[in-house]
Chains A and B, each alone.
Chain A
Amino acid sequence: MGNTDHGSTIDLETSIQRLGASRRQLKDIDDDELDALPVAKRREWARALQRLSVAITKLETADLQNLSAEFIAGESRLRAAATKLDEDLAHLADTIAMIDAASTAVKTVTEVVSLLA
């Protein structure tokens, strides 16, 4: 499964690169050269550019969405790790609070003993 996903991702990346190279070639045609073409050819150029650009955007988006799904899969563990850090901090603070509580307890005992003396 993992290998298949990895293979699909590589295929997607290769397709994007190939389409990108084709788009650059299409756009490399100079305005003067395009102006010199018959109207039908110019319109075909515009349609080819449209098809290529939309395909590139859609493939890039699909590639990013695959990656986003991987982020989402790891999100619960990351959130749990952050929560655990907050608990660690609270636990450290509790240790200090316990020493303070012991101090108060000793003081109380002292006061009681002083009253009884």
Chain B
Amino acid sequence: MGRFHSILGRASLVTGLLLCFLMTGCVGPTQTLQQGTDLCDAGIQYTDALDELLDVTIETVIDYDSDELIRQRRYADPNDLRGFLDERNKALTEQVKTLEMFRSHSRRLRAYFTSLGELTGATLQGSATAAVENLSGSIAAANESLRDSERVDLNDEERIYLSKLGGLVAKGAHAGVVRAALRRDAVVIGQQLVLHEKLMAKLAGILEDRYAGQRDTIGRQKVRKPYVSTDQSVGDGWKNDRREWIRSGFYLDELTKATEAIRQMRYVWAGILEGRQDAHSVQLALNDIHDFTQATTALHEAGKEKED
């Protein structure tokens, strides 16, 4: 009779395990948890990249405006200068304040991915194995005390087996919770990605305008003017300026790539939830955003060196 209960107990656990797997779909628990972890890493990396991009944008708009004020000062009516500066300061302060607001929006998205990371990375499997082992140990001890009664009789081998099974059930349940969370939040995160796509397009538009202006200035003042002016010699300095001017055209291409990357990230997110794609694709999209941020930072620094 005790043997029967033992088999029945194990059968119940196996049934439970199978149910967990069936409820969590075709993808295995390990794969689900890994996808969840990859998504969190990608999401956190994205928000970090956006943070850097906001820094670059803010510095660029301020420096561009200052350069313009310096040139304008040379030709303006001295009586207008104070009014010009006050008006510019007010408009630019409002713009920077607005850009800073996106940093807090981005932090909220980061907080979501951090919570998702804590859920997917939770070390429940080990705790569950220990808890089941503890429970089966207690049952075995109870059997010792109630030797003559018809209880579940567990030997050492069976206890180890049950513990392992307990761990697997916990892992299946854990993966099920992660998958349910991803499905539940798919719309919310999808909407956030649409908004971030719009934000990237707007930041790219602002940067494109400023960099195109900066490129015009370098082309006109540092490349064309010295070259056509036959009363001055051109040498290594001019060659460097010309190289920088030609290369800066490619930075503008990076802006387009980055905007495409965030759009791609939204499609990838939908694909993962439908089981069509893996999280690795998000990483590829993020690489484009990272390259773009690096390129814009480099251009910004190059622009500063030119002024020096």
Contacts and interface: CB of A to CB of B under 8 A. Distances in A.
Interface of A: 13, 16-17, 20, 23-24, 27-28, 30-32, 34, 42-43, 45-47, 49-50, 53-54, 56-58, 60-61, 63-65, 67-68, 70-72, 74-75, 77-79, 81-82, 84-86, 88-89, 91-93, 95-96, 99-100, 102-104, 106-107, 109-110, 113-114, 117
Nearest to A9: B198
Give the one of A28, A49, A84, A92 with max B CB within 10 A: A92
Contacts of B14: none
A46 B146 contact: no
B239 interface: no
B141 A43 contact: no
Contact of A92 (B61, B173, B184): B173
B60 to A, nearest CB: 12
Contacts of A45: 75
Contacts of B139: 106
A63 B202 contact: yes
Nearest to B206: A60
A50 B225 CA distance: 25
Contacts of A58: 91, 94
A100 B145 contact: no
Nearest to B191: A74
Contact of A75 (B74, B108, B124, B213): B108
Interface stretch (B44-52, B95-103, B240-248): B95-103
Interface stretch (B125-133, B264-272, B280-288): B125-133
Contacts of A57: 61, 65, 88, 91-92, 94-95
A60 B141 CA distance: 73
Contacts of A96: 124, 127-128, 131, 170
Given A24-B213, A64-B202, A106 B102 contact: no
A113 B146 contact: yes
Nearest to A61: B95
Contact of B131 (A43, A60, A100): A100
Nearest to B225: A30
6 contacts: A50-B80, A54-B91, A57-B91, A77-B188, A84-B185, A103-B134
9 A-B pairs with least C-beta separation: A46-B76, A106-B138, A99-B131, A85-B115, A103-B135, A42-B75, A57-B91, A71-B105, A103-B134
Contacts of B74: 31
B31 interface: no
Contacts of A23: 213
A24 B210 CA distance: 10
A76 to B, nearest CB: 10
Contacts of A100: 131, 134-135
A110 B119 contact: no
Contacts of A85: 112, 115-116, 118-119, 181, 185
A28 B91 contact: no
Given A34-B75, A75-B105, A81-B188, A99 B128 contact: yes
Contacts of B102: 64, 68, 71
B199 A67 contact: yes
Contacts of B221: 31
Contact of A110 (B80, B87, B99, B142): B142
B209 interface: yes
A88 B119 contact: yes
A8 to B, nearest CB: 14
Contacts of B209: 16, 20, 56
Contact of B101 (A16, A63, A68, A109): A68
B111 interface: yes
B91 A61 contact: yes
B72 interface: yes
A74 B76 contact: no
Given A79-B108, A81-B189, 14 more contacts: A20-B209, A27-B213, A31-B74, A46-B76, A49-B68, A57-B88, A64-B202, A70-B195, A84-B181, A84-B184, A85-B185, A95-B173, A96-B124, A103-B138
